[in-house]
Structures are given as C-alpha cells and as structure tokens.
C-alpha cells in the first residue's frame, strides 16, 4: 500500500470508521507515521463516538478548549455579521438577551466545574460590551467563590459603561493568593475597591498600574501593604507629581523590588518624586521610556542605588550624565538597550561593563564602521554573547567583509554567538507609499562576501530591513544564518533575535 496516494488511503480508512467503535482506526494509525497523519484527522471529525463517549468525553473537551481561541469564537457566535461590521449598531431583535444568557451559562459551567482557576483576564473589547454586566458580577455565579479562591493571576481593563468595583470588592474577600495583578485602567468608581483588592493579598509579587486619569492614587497608597513581597512594579501613564505623600512613601517602602518599569511616567524630577530613585538597592532590572523628557538625576539615582546589583537596563533616551552613571555604577550589567550611541559611548561601555552579555543599540548614521569594528574587537567584553545593532536602511553602516571577519575572529574566541542587524523602515511616516520603489528598498548592508564570513564564523545571524517591505515579495527582507527557525534552539532565542529583551519584559 506504500504506492497509494494520500487521497486513496483516506477513502480506504473511512470504511473503518464506525459510530460504535474506533478500535480499527486506532490500530491502523500505529502502523507508520504516514498512516497516522491520515487517520488522526478522521478520528477528530467525530470524537464523541458511542463506544468512547463516557471514557474520553472529558479529555476531548479539555483538548478542544486548550487549543481554541475561545474568546474570539464567543464573539463571532454572539454577534451578527452586521454588528461585527458596525460594533456601534444596536441589535434589532432579542439577540442581546440570548447572547447574555449563553455567555452567563458558559461562565457558570467554567466556575462550577473548575476546582482551581489560576488565571482570570478581563479585556475591554468593544464587541463584547453587552457581556460586561455578566463579568462584573462574576463572583455571584454558582461555584465562582470556590473555583476563584486560589486565583494567582488577575488582569483587568476597566469595563466601559459598567461599574466593576463590586467585582474588586468581592474578590478582595475571596481571592487572597494573587501573585500577579495587572490593572490596565483605573476609573474613579474603581479606585477604592481596587485599593482594597491590593491590600487583601498575602503574597503579591508582580503589580502593574496604568491610568490616563488621576484615579491611581489610592492604588499607589495600597502598595505599602505589599512592600515585603513585591518584586516587580510597572507604572504606566502616571503623573507622579500629583501623588500624595502616602502614595510616594508606599512606593519607596518596596525595598525588595527587583524590577521597575516606568513607561510614560512624568515629573520624575520634582523633589518629592526624586526621592524614589534612592529606594531600591536590590534592583536588578530597570526600564524607562515613552517620555520626551529625560530625567537624568532620577535615572542616575536609580543606577547609583542599585549599583552592582543591576543586571538589565533599557533606556529609550539618554544623556552624557546617564552614560557616566552606567559605566561608573553598573559594573555587573548583563543586558543593555540604548539608543543613538556615538562611537566613544560604545567603546566606553565595552571597556567598563565587563560582564555584559546582551547589548542592543542604535548605530546612528555616518559611522566609520571599519574603524569602529576594529576598536570594538580590541575591548569587547569576554562575556558578550549577543549584539544587536539598529541602523537606517537608507544610510546604513558601510563596512568591509575583512573588518567584519577581524571582529568576529576575536569575538567568537570568547563567548560571542549571536549577531542581529535590524534596519528601520525605509518609508517615513509622512511619506506616501507608491508603486515605484526607492533605490534603497532592498537590503544592501551585507554582500555575499559578508555572508560567507558570517557562515565561516559559526555564529547565529539575523537581519531584516523593515516591515513595510512585505508588500514587495521580490526583495530580500530577512536573512537568517543558519536557518534555525524550526529548531528548538532558534525558537528559544527568536525573541532575542527578532525582538529586544525589553519588549519581552514589557509584554511578559
């Protein structure tokens, strides 16, 4: 039967399909891999056959749910095509109430039959606004009190047109074992209830608070109740100068903090807020970005206080004073992400940060790359494993294959394994896309000679030239040497090759 096509074999196997027994098909799929690939889809076409209904029912349902984008499927089931096209359109029948009932029944099934729910995420999807009334009263459902009592991760976007404070209040009395709490919007009606939820936790380790308004202050004031356990704090879109003294003192009390992420946080240089920068001696990870201002004194205070404990640092901007603070205090830094470094800064970091493993920076323009590669090779940290250089596709670095070889010969003699070059998109925001491609549309940074040098060095190499080029498939947009995309090793490192560790940190 080896000579039969897949289509013919499938027709033969269909004769073995029986509503009362799948034993013959199970026996056949064990013959070889080819038969298995054909038979498994047939078995999954009707998993609830009469013989195995009771035996495998729960396993089948569990498998379906673990592989389904349930959230999206519920949305498509609830909403008619016309409402999907126009989410603001009001239903002209009783579908609103039917959908509410179905969703409520699903929630009841999950809470009633789940003995231990560890994760609960509530997202603010406009398509699902009619269901928010059920979500806000989730703990009133049968079994929810027991199944959610061991909740460990809770993420919530405040729900439009629905007061979620009752949910926070009820959770504060039931869910006391939350380890990670991500609150992505705080509105006025939520602020006190959210504060009570934070205070109720016994061992909160990871906390995110984001608010575009001034309603974050009670939540910040409650952080002090978790000062002994909190190790990661992310604050986003906050004007910290309006915070109360109690709120600022609560942040400062978190002496065990290992990771601090400040994104779009303002007024860090005000005298009251500046005191925070000297509060975290055990800090291992610091991120600052999203703001136009660069609070040099605040960041220098963070670096000086954390000192040799700091391992990972990301700054979306910097000043000469910050570079001085890095090379003076952060001797044990291992992962560093900076923008627009000049040659002296790069070399200074190489000479002083002798434990550096991952280094990402923006290469800038008009760089004498041959000379720079030679200088980098002479002072490269022996611990460096991964180097990522961002550069402009239009005005990229120009360097010879000989200079690259000299650098790689020395670098690979130590710990160096990964090189990434990420080019910016060649189209400016204000430039319109047109049918005629610019001369620099395709990637020219690396010639055949460069790629041969990289192959001979045995390192892992990744480069791409911007996302806009997906519209032009005839142009080379990405190169991987070797092509490891299907191997476990590449999957392990892909987020480093294609995405900075900081972006992983922000999303983790």
95: its two tokens: 């579908």
Give residue 285's pLDDT.
96
pTM, rounded to two decimals: 0.75
User: Which of the pair, 10 or 172, is modelled with greater confidence?
Assistant: 172
Give residue 441's pLDDT.
60
Inter-residue contact 282 to 258 (CB < 8 Å): yes
Q: What is the pLDDT of residues 444-469, one digit of tens each?
A: 788 889 999 999 999 999 887 765 55
Give residue 488's pLDDT.
42
Q: What is the pLDDT of residues 374-416, one digit of tens each?
A: 999 999 999 999 999 988 777 788 899 999 999 999 999 999 9
User: Which of the pair, 384 or 128, is modelled with greater confidence?
Assistant: 384
Helices (H) and strands (E) in the chain, counts: 22, 14
Q: What is the pLDDT of residues 181-219, one digit of tens each?
A: 998 877 777 788 899 999 999 999 999 999 877 788 999
Burial of 242 (0-12, 13-18, 19+ CB in 10 A): middle
Whether the predicted pLDDT of 233 surpasses 70 = yes
Whether the predicted pLDDT of 137 surpasses 90 = no
Q: Three-class SS of residue 180?
A: strand
505: its two tokens: 């940190």
Give residue 44's pLDDT.
72
d(C-alpha 301, C-alpha 262), whole Å: 14
Lowest mean pLDDT among 66-75, 124-133, 147-156, 447-456: 66-75
Give residue 413's pLDDT.
94
Give residue 491's pLDDT.
41
Q: Mean pLDDT throughout 489-503?
A: 41
Give residue 489's pLDDT.
40
d(C-alpha 2, C-alpha 439), whole Å: 52
Residue count of the chain, please give it. 508
Q: Where are the domains of the chain?
A: 6-64, 69-83+93-257, 334-508
Whether the predicted pLDDT of 283 surpasses 60 = yes
Q: Select, from the ranges 69-78, 240-249, 484-493, the one with the highest average predicted confidence (pLDDT).
A: 240-249
d(C-alpha 379, C-alpha 374), whole Å: 9
Query: Can you spell out the DSSP letters for 123-141?
Result: ---GGGGGGHHHHHTGGGS
CA 110 from centre of chain: 27
DSSP state of 415: T
CATH 1.10.3470 fits 69-83+93-257, yes or no: no
What is the chain's mean pLDDT, rounded?
79
Whether the predicted pLDDT of 105 surpasses 50 = yes
d(C-alpha 69, C-alpha 65), whole Å: 8
Whether the predicted pLDDT of 154 surpasses 70 = yes
Q: Mean pLDDT throughout 341-369?
A: 88
Whether the predicted pLDDT of 326 surpasses 80 = yes
Give residue 433's pLDDT.
46
Whether the predicted pLDDT of 498 surpasses 50 = no
Whether the predicted pLDDT of 319 surpasses 60 = yes
Quick one: CA dihedral 254, 259, 260, 263, positive or negative? negative
Whether the predicted pLDDT of 281 surpasses 60 = yes
């Amino acid at each position: 039967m080896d000579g039969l096509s897949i289509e013919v074999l499938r027709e033969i196997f269909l004769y073995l399909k029986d509503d009362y027994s799948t034993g013959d098909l199970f026996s056949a799929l064990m013959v070889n891999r080819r038969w298995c690939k054909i038979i498994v889809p047939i078995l999954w076409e009707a998993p609830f056959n009469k013989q195995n209904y009771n035996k495998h029912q729960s396993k089948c349902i569990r498998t379906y749910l673990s592989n389904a984008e349930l959230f999206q499927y519920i949305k498509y089931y609830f909403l008619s095509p016309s409402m999907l096209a126009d989410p603001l359109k009001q239903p002209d029948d009783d579908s609103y109430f039917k959908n509410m009932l179905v969703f409520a029944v699903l929630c009841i099934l999950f809470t009633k039959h789940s003995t231990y729910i560890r994760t609960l995420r509530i997202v603010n999807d406009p398509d699902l606004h009619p269901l928010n009334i059920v979500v806000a009263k989730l703990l009133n459902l049968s079994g929810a009190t027991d199944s959610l009592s061991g909740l460990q991760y809770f993420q919530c976007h405040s729900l439009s047109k629905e007061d979620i404070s009752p949910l926070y209040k009820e959770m504060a009395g039931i869910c006391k074992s939350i380890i990670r709490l991500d609150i992505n919007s705080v509105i006025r009606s939520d602020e006190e209830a959210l504060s009570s939820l934070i205070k109720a936790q016994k061992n909160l380790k990871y906390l995110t608070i984001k608010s575009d308004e001034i309603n974050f202050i009670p939540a910040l004031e409650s952080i002090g109740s978790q000062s002994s356990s909190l190790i990661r704090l992310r604050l986003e879109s906050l004007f910290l100068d309006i915070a109360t003294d109690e709120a600022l003192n609560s942040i400062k009390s978190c002496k065990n903090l290992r990771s601090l992420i400040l994104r779009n946080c303002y007024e860090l240089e005000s005298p009251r807020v500046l005191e925070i920068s000297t509060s975290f001696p055990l800090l291992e990870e610091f991120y600052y970005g999203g703001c136009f201002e660069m609070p040099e004194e605040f960041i220098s205070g963070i670096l000086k206080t954390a000192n040799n404990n700091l391992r990972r640092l990301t700054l979306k901007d910097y000043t000469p004073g910050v570079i001085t603070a890095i090379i003076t205090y952060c001797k044990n830094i291992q992962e560093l992400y900076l923008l627009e470094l000049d040659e002296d800064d790069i070399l200074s970091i190489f000479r002083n940060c002798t434990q550096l493993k991952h280094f990402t920076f923006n290469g800038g323009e008009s760089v004498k790359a041959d000379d720079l590669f030679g200088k980098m090779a002479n002072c490269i940290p022996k611990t460096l494993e991964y180097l990522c250089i961002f550069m402009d596709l239009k005005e990229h670095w120009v360097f010879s294959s000989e200079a690259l070889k000299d650098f790689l010969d020395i670098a690979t003699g130590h710990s160096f394994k990964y090189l990434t070059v990420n080019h910016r998109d060649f189209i400016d925001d204000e430039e319109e896309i047109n049918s005629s491609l610019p001369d620099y549309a395709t990637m020219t940074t690396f010639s055949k000679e460069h790629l041969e040098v990289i192959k001979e060095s045995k390192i892992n190499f990744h480069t791409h030239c911007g996302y806009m080029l997906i519209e032009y498939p005839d142009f080379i947009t990405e190169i991987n040497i070797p092509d490891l995309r299907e191997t476990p090793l590449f999957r392990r490192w892909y987020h480093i090759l294609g995405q900075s560790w900081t972006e992983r940190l922000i999303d983790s």
